[in-house]
Amino acid sequence: MKRKMFFLLASFVIILIAACSHTEHREEQEILNVKIEAKSPMDVNKTTEISCLVTYGNEKVDDADEVKFEIWKQGSEKHEMLPAKNKGNGKYAVTKTFTEAGTYSIVAHVTAHNMHNMPKTDIVVGNPSASTTEHDHHSDVMIMLMKQPYEANKQAKFVAHVTHDNKPLVGADVHFEIWKGNGKHEVIDATEKGKGEYEATTTFKEKGTYFVKVHVETKDLHDHQIEQVTVQ
């Protein structure tokens, strides 16, 4: 009888551990993903749909708290913010008519499941002239955030390599914007440690998935890129 009770108890413990392990693994894997879908090049003076597919883990999100598209022509200070319509099956969309040729940037601002994601893409409208292309030269900025392990309550170092026209971008104003879910955004200034290499340090107070937005500014350009990092 005692042996039978022992085996039953042992089996229950194994099942419990397996269930907890599966839950933890699932929580680690499930993150908010947003994929922008926009045709490029687009025609001038023609109404076109811009959309994004929102998923959480393997599930399509139909109950996002907020989805907006920020659109602006590169080189212009005027940014347009358009609220998206829920099309179902994880799709959110807006319609837009571009009246001028050029290169445009699109950022999808998505809040869902207590997380926030802001992917960015660039599109071409019409046939931009040579002067327009030269004016929009900052679209050639490349930002690479070096991936490394991060642990809670330990100093974390961020390193970003920035290039412009395939050359290191020196003398830029670079800072890292960091947040988790709908939590407070922390902004830390970076120091240029080498040609086009910018570093900053912070300390994560808790485990989880964080967003890191790398801002790069000079007198003639302003660009950014968002990455996700996992803190153990």
Q: Look up the pTM and report it.
A: 0.51
State pLDDT tens for residues 51-61.
999 999 889 99
What is the predicted pLDDT for the residue at 13?
47
In 3D, which of 88, 72, 87 has the Cα closest to residue 139? Answer: 72
**Terminal-to-terminal C-alpha distance of the chain:** 44
State pLDDT tens for residues 18-36.
555 444 444 444 788 899 9
Domains and CATH numbers, the chain: 32-135 (2.60.40.10), 140-231 (2.60.40.10)
Rg over CA atoms, the chain? 22
Pairwise pLDDT comparison (128 vs 124), residue with the higher score: 124
**In this structure, how many other beta carbons lie within 10 angstroms of the beta carbon of residue 188?**
12
Task: Give the confidence band of 16 by pLDDT, cuts at 50, 70, 90.
Answer: low
Listing DSSP states for 185-223 in one string gives: -EEEE-EEEETTEEEEEEE-SS-EEEEEEEEEE-SS-EE
State pLDDT tens for residues 188-226.
999 999 899 999 999 999 998 888 889 999 888 888 887
Q: How far is CA 51 from the centre of its chain?
A: 16
Task: Give the confidence band of 136 by pLDDT, cuts at 50, 70, 90.
Answer: very low
Structural contact between residues 36 and 92, judged by C-beta atoms closer than 8 angstroms? no
For the segment 111-137, the average pLDDT, to the nearest whole number, is 69
What is the predicted pLDDT for the residue at 143?
83
β-sheet bridge partners, residue 156: 202
What is the predicted pLDDT for the residue at 151?
93
For the segment 100-125, the average pLDDT, to the nearest whole number, is 87
